Amino acid sequence: MAIATVSTPSFVQGTQVLLSSFISSNTELAYDLVIIGDNLPQVASSFLKFPQVKFHSVGDRLKKATQKVGEQNKLLRNKLAQFYSLEIFNLTGYDKVLFLDSDIVCQQSITSFLSYQCDLGACYDRAWFMNKHRLYDSFYMVDPESSDTRERTMSPSYNSGVLLVDKVLINHPTYQELIERIDSIDWTDTSGVNDQIVINQHFEGRIETLPETYNYITERVGFDRKWSESRADEACFIHFIGHPKPWNFKRIVKGLLKGRKAPENWSVWLKAYWKYLRMSTFRK
């Protein structure tokens, strides 16, 4: 089994906390840690102290496809690394891959999580909790009762920050189909959640819904649906979507001085960060 994530120079601290929290919560599991990236030499030295760590470079075909996206929409050029999560479908040789975004903290063992039998499992995204649908092409959220649009919509829609993938989908044909899906989309006006659009479109109707505790989304403003009686401290994975990210200390402190709130559940990430620092020589 592989535990995979994407890391970039601006996400190194997030990746370190993710891996550290996962290892400390899963001491009895056998797995490889796989870090996916484009310019891996820039970040590799930050992860060499982790056991079972392996590095996987983004394929040239996927990079070319993402570059075309940036050419279509310059606003997406700083978000192209989001597409790199699709490399998990190219990690042949593993019976199962668990993908986790690098802005996640693990709080519990995933033993029970791995008992789910599915080709592809994921949790609902913000749209579902806000009682919204997604426009199929652009992935913007819309009211289901809206009568001013005749565009195709989808619901439910899924967050791509936690993906449980079985070996039946980890192969070259699936990987190629996902790249072709990128090429087929008009990226001139989309919501900006790049890999999420591709995953939801390509696997529409085939994604197994996983319990919310495996992807507890922060930034819950506007949520209408009840969170199944769960709390953040009960969640297996807390996902710090949005900005600022919890390791952007200067930006957060500046916000606090201006009367803004800290990121939701920021203390959870901080505790995991200090725990990581105690076990590592890493310094910013």
In this predicted model, what pLDDT tens digit does every residue of 87-114 receive, in sequence order?
A: 999 999 999 999 999 999 999 999 999 9
Rounded CA-CA distance 5/11 in Å is: 11
User: Does residue 140 lie within any of the structural domains?
Assistant: no
User: Does residue 148 lie within any of the structural domains?
Assistant: no
User: Does residue 43 lie within any of the structural domains?
Assistant: yes
Alpha helices in the chain (DSSP H): 12-25, 60-72, 126-129, 172-184, 194-202, 249-257, 266-278
Alpha helices in 102-240 (DSSP H): 126-129, 172-184, 194-202
pLDDT, tens digit (0-9, with 9 covering 90-100), for 120-150: 999 999 999 888 999 999 999 999 887 566 7
In 74-223 the beta strands, taken as DSSP E runs, fall at 96-100, 104-106, 120-124, 133-135, 141-142, 153-154, 158-166, 208-209, 216-217
Report if pTM > 0.85.
yes
Per the structure, the complete domain to which residue 120 belongs is given by: 2-126+158-278
User: Does residue 136 lie within any of the structural domains?
Assistant: no
- The pLDDT, as a whole number, for residue 247 is 93
User: Does residue 227 lie within any of the structural domains?
Assistant: yes
User: In this model, does residue 226 exceed pLDDT 70?
Assistant: no
Res. 261 pLDDT band, cuts 50 70 90: confident
User: Does residue 176 lie within any of the structural domains?
Assistant: yes
User: Does residue 131 lie within any of the structural domains?
Assistant: no
Q: Tokens for 201?
A: 């479109």
The total number of structural domains in the chain stands at 1
User: Does residue 195 lie within any of the structural domains?
Assistant: yes
CATH number of the domain to which 28 belongs: 3.90.550.10
In 193-254 the beta strands, taken as DSSP E runs, fall at 208-209, 216-217, 237-239
Residue listed under structure tokens 């060499």: 48
Residue listed under structure tokens 């085939």: 206
